[in-house]
């Protein structure tokens, strides 16, 4: 995937277009399969409700719905919300994050400052978090809004500070995927 290198954040529309061009959509069978494999990772846990935080093109949300979970999605970008309304209207988009049994937090945290993350986790406390965030730094980080790239051990420490313990590393959807559980659950 060729990504533009810029000094400023790309537009919402270009962000969505680049994701779609890269196959991050519901018509790409390989990506859909990856999303279903991700949902399979949490089968058997005490999880009924799921919030897909920063749901993007909604393919994870859709996969979790198809696996029998009650899913809501939160998305910041209007371009993505418009895409979801048109392509996957069965996904319920919410206006603000809520506490659920599981929060999908896939490739989103690197786009948020620590202050934004602190505010988020003061307002919600999901029982589980399926987390993935790159630790690789690239020339296009700024353009893609990667403002908070951390090493994996730093993410573990961050979640511990919020009351979560690492349950396990998982193989999907990325090599950086982890499952955390709230210590009080």
Cα gap 17→148, rounded to integer Å: 23
Q: Where are the domains of the chain?
A: 12-182
pLDDT digits (tens, 9 = 90+) for 59-118: 999 999 999 999 999 999 999 999 999 999 999 999 999 999 999 999 999 988 899 999
The per-residue pLDDT of the chain, averaged, comes to 91
Distance from chain centroid for Cα 66: 18
- The whole-number pLDDT of residue 31 equals 97
Q: Is 174 helix (H, G, I), strand (E, B) or coil?
A: coil
Helix pair angle (78-87, 12-21), 10° resolution: 50
Q: What is the mean pLDDT of residues 145-157?
A: 87
Q: Are strands 178-182 and 102-106 parallel, antiparallel or unpaired?
A: unpaired
> Are the C-beta atoms of 75 and 56 separated by less than 8 Å?
yes
pLDDT digits (tens, 9 = 90+) for 8-30: 678 889 889 988 999 999 999 99
Q: What are phi and psi of 81, to 5 degrees?
A: -65, -40
Cα gap 55→185, rounded to integer Å: 25
Q: Is 104 helix (H, G, I), strand (E, B) or coil?
A: strand
**Residues contacting residue 144 through CB under 8 Å, at least 6 positions apart:** 3, 9, 10, 15
Tokens at 30, concatenated: 């390989």
> Residue 56's closest CA among 173, 151, 164?
173
Give the global pTM.
Answer: 0.92
- The whole-number pLDDT of residue 14 equals 86
CATH architecture of 12-182: 3-Layer(aba) Sandwich (3.40)
């Amino acid at each position: 995937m060729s990504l533009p290198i810029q000094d400023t954040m790309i537009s919402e529309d270009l962000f969505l277009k680049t994701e779609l061009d890269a196959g991050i959509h519901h018509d790409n069978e390989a990506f859909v399969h990856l999303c279903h494999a991700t949902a399979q990772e949490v089968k058997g846990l005490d999880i009924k409700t799921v919030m897909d935080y920063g749901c993007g093109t909604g393919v994870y949300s859709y996969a979790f719905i198809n696996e029998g979970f009650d899913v809501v999605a939160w998305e910041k970008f209007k371009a993505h919300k418009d895409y979801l309304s048109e392509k996957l209207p069965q996904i319920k988009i919410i206006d603000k994050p809520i506490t659920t049994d599981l929060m999908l937090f896939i490739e989103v945290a690197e786009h948020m400052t620590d202050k934004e993350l602190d505010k988020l986790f003061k307002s919600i406390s999901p029982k589980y978090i399926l987390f993935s965030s790159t630790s690789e730094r690239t020339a296009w980080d700024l353009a893609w809004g990667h403002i908070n790239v951390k090493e994996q051990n730093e993410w573990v420490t961050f979640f511990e500070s919020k009351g979560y313990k690492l349950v396990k590393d998982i193989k999907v959807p990325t090599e950086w995927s982890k499952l955390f559980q709230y210590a009080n659950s």
